[in-house]
Amino acid sequence: EAQVTQNPRYLITVTGKKLTVTCSQNMNHEYMSWYRQDPGLGLRQIYYSMNVEVTDKGDVPEGYKVSRKEKRNFPLILESPSPNQTSLYFCASTEGGGNFAEAFFGQGTRLTVV
Amino acid sequence: KNQVEQSPQSLIILEGKNCTLQCNYTVSPFSNLRWYKQDTGRGPVSLTIMTFSENTKSNGRYTATLDADTKQSSLHITASQLSDSASYICVVSVNYGGSQGNLIFGKGTKLSVKP
């Protein structure tokens, strides 16, 4: 089954403790991205990757890092989490290009930083 | 600035009734427009895609329209069911010469269908 898998689904952590949210896709997509979703703000892109070893900032990259060492995996790293990074996070993998790109989203990771 | 505006923010309807959600966009150059359905706590799932030349497209009880001249789209839900309760997100793709995934998200319309 074609899917995007995120782990963990839920995470509570303390300020300053480094964490990683993993994302894996089995569709051989080149393009992957991370979003955060906050009430009233919708989905905002954090980082994206157009291919292995190619990453770039989205709209809200501050406080986040990513890596793309292999096509299927795109982990999101919070080196020193702060309470304002409490949010619902989604990883997405994009099929196709040109006029028909469709984003497939993971199940989401609900992060709470206390 | 590329933007996607949706209305209403939220909507409550009775089961069996119809409803229409609106999406206005100022995105250039336009590639396509998708409507996504997002159940609470889950990732969005694509319902339908509209390209520049398409006016209407149906997917079961969901019918999307696109007016490329006025840069407006609507999603009409017929004979609503309790399972239609979700957020509906309008997403416009920017065409940067084949670049993938330049997606502009609306903030969504939260639909609640009551029995």
> In chain B, what residues touch A48 (CB-CB under 8 Å)?
101
Cβ contacts (< 8 Å) between A103 and chain B: which residues? Answer: 44, 46, 91, 101, 103
Q: Which of A57-61, B50-54, B98-102 has the lowest mean pLDDT?
A: B98-102
Amino acid A97: pLDDT? 57
Contact A9, A110 (CB under 8 A): yes
- Judge whether A74 and A66 are in contact, CB under 8 Å: yes
pLDDT at B41: 85
Instruction: Give the residue on B whose Cα is nearest the Cα of A105.
Output: B43
pLDDT band at B99 (very low <50, low <70, confident <90, very high): very low
Give pLDDT tens digits for B19-57. 999 999 998 888 889 999 999 989 999 999 888 888 999
Cβ–Cβ below 8 Å for B89 and A43:
yes
CB contact under 8 A, B91 and A92: no
**Alpha carbons B105 and A43: distance in angstroms, whole number:** 6
pLDDT of residue B97: 54
Q: How close B73 comes to chain A (CA, Å)?
A: 17
